Amino acid sequence: MSEADKLWDETDEIFTSWNLKDIPFSESASSLVSNLDQVFTGRTQELKTIFHLLRGRERKRILVYGSVGIGKTAFILEVLSVLQRKSKDTLATYISLPFETDLATAALIALARHMPEDEWAQQLLNNMGLMSESTRKTKTKFDVKIPMVGGSIETESKPVNAPKFPTLTFQDLLERALEKYSRVVIAIDDLDKQDPAKVRQLLHDAQGMLKGDAWFILTGHPSGLTRDLLISERGLFDLALEIKALDQPTTYQMLINYLASARINKTSKDETNPDAVHPFTLETARNLCAHSQGIPRWFNRIANYVLLKAADLQAEKITPEVFQQGLEYVSQKLRGQSELTPEDYYVLDLVLEKGVLSDENVTMDDLKRLKAQQFTQVLPILDKLIQFDLV
C-alpha cells in the first residue's frame, strides 16, 4: 500500500467516525442540484408567494432579489424543480446570464437547450457556437457538466455568437415550445454580475420579449444601483420578491439537513439530539449559525473550512477550540488573494465584521480610511470582492 493510499484511508476513517460520506457544504447552489431538495431549508412564505402566482394562467415576470450569497439561485432552482415535478405541462428552464450576452439571446439558449427533439432549436445552438443536445451526449466523462432535472446548469465564460434578430428568433422558438407545453418558464440568473448601466440597457432592450408569452424569473442583488435599476422599471415586473437572511432556528435546521444529506447511517433530525449535528457539538453548531448571520454562502463557506480544519486536526468532535481554529482558517483563506489591494482587504474586513454592508453601518471613519466621501464609492470594491466570490 502506497503512502497516498494510507493517507486516503486515514481521511476515510475520520469521516466514517463522523458518520459522513463527504463534506456536504458548497457555496455554489449549482453543485447542489442533485440533492437540493434534501438541503433546501426555509423560505416558506417566499415559496407560497411565488407558487400562488404560478397558479395563474396569465404569464408573469418575477424579480428575485437579495444580497450576494443570500440563496437566490438555490431558491429559483427549487422553484423550477417543483414545477418540473408537479406541473408536467410546464417547460421550466434555467440559465446563468452568459458574458456579454443580451437577455433575448440568453433566453433563446435556455429554451433551445430544453428542446432536444427540436431540430431547429439544436441548429440554433450550433449556429451560436454552443453544443446541441446531441453533441452534449457524446462528450467524454471527463468534461464538466452539472446535471439538472430536465437539462443542465452551465455558464458561458466567453461571448456567444448571437443570432441577428435574437428577440424574433426567441419568439419563433417559443411558439414551437408552446405547441407542446401550456407554459414556458425561463429563469435568468446573475443579472447582478453586470454593470448597473448595462443592466438598464439589457432590460430596456428586452421589454418586448419580457412582456411576451413566456414567464420570466430574473435575479439580482441590491448592492449599489443594481437593485434600484431593476425594481424601478415600472410595469416590467409583476412581483419583486426579496430573499432575506435566514433566522437562527432555520439556519440550525439547514445545518442538520446538510449533514443528513451526507450521512452514512441515518440519524435523528431532532435539533436537541447531539447526533443530528455531529461532528459539531450543540454549542459549536449554534456558533456556526451565529457566525453565518443567516447568509447561506457564508454558512457553507465557514462549515466547509471548519470541517477541513477538523479533519486536518483529526478531531473526534468540533469543540469550541477546534471551531475557533476553523474560523482562523477561513480568515486565512479569504485573505489569500494576491490580486487584492489594501483597500480591498479593508472592505473585506468590514464585511467579516459587520456582515452585509450598507450606508447605515459603514461609518465616516471607515469611509475616510478608504478615501471615500460616500458609501456608493465603496461599491466598486464590493463588486470586485463579489467577482472573487469572497462575499
Q: Which three cell numbers stand for residue 27?
A: 457555496
- Render 270-282 in DSSP notation, one character per residue: -TT-GGGTTTB-H
The whole-number pLDDT of residue 147 equals 38
Phi/psi region, residue 157 (left: phi>0; alpha: psi -120 to 50; beta: rest), is: alpha
Confidence band, pLDDT 50/70/90 cuts, at residue 339: low
Q: Is the pLDDT of residue 234 over 80?
A: no
* Euclidean distance between CA atoms 118 and 129, whole angstroms: 17
Q: In Å, how far from its chain's centre is CA 38?
A: 16
Q: 170 by DSSP, 3-state: which?
A: helix
Q: Is the pLDDT of residue 215 over 70?
A: yes
Report whether 187 contacts 93 (CB < 8 A): yes
> Mean pLDDT across the chain, nearest whole number?
83
In the predicted model, what is the mean pLDDT of residues 172-186? 95
How many other CB atoms are found less than 10 A from the CB of residue 354? 15
* Euclidean distance between CA atoms 51 and 199, whole angstroms: 27
In the predicted model, what is the mean pLDDT of residues 215-228? 67
Q: What is the pTM of this model?
A: 0.79
The pLDDT tens digits for 72-95 are 999 999 999 999 999 989 999 999
The pLDDT tens digits for 10-36 are 898 999 999 999 999 988 776 766 788
Confidence band, pLDDT 50/70/90 cuts, at residue 235: low
Q: Is the pLDDT of residue 296 over 50?
A: yes
Confidence band, pLDDT 50/70/90 cuts, at residue 98: confident
The whole-number pLDDT of residue 69 equals 81
Q: Is the pLDDT of residue 225 over 60?
A: no
The whole-number pLDDT of residue 151 equals 45
Q: Of the segments 122-131, 174-183, 364-373, which one has the largest average pLDDT value?
A: 174-183
Q: Is the pLDDT of residue 226 over 60?
A: no
Confidence band, pLDDT 50/70/90 cuts, at residue 352: low
* Euclidean distance between CA atoms 296 and 29, whole angstroms: 10
Q: Is the pLDDT of residue 227 over 90?
A: no
The pLDDT tens digits for 150-172 are 444 555 545 566 678 889 999 99
The whole-number pLDDT of residue 77 equals 94
Q: Lowest-confidence range among 309-313, 337-341, 356-360, 375-379?
A: 337-341
Report whether 58 contacts 212 (CB < 8 A): no
How many other CB atoms are found less than 10 A from the CB of residue 229? 20
Strands (DSSP E) contained in the chain are 61-65, 90-96, 146-148, 151-153, 183-189, 215-220, 239-242
- Percent of the chain's residues with pLDDT above 70: 82
H-type alpha helices, 55-165: 72-86, 103-113, 119-127, 133-137
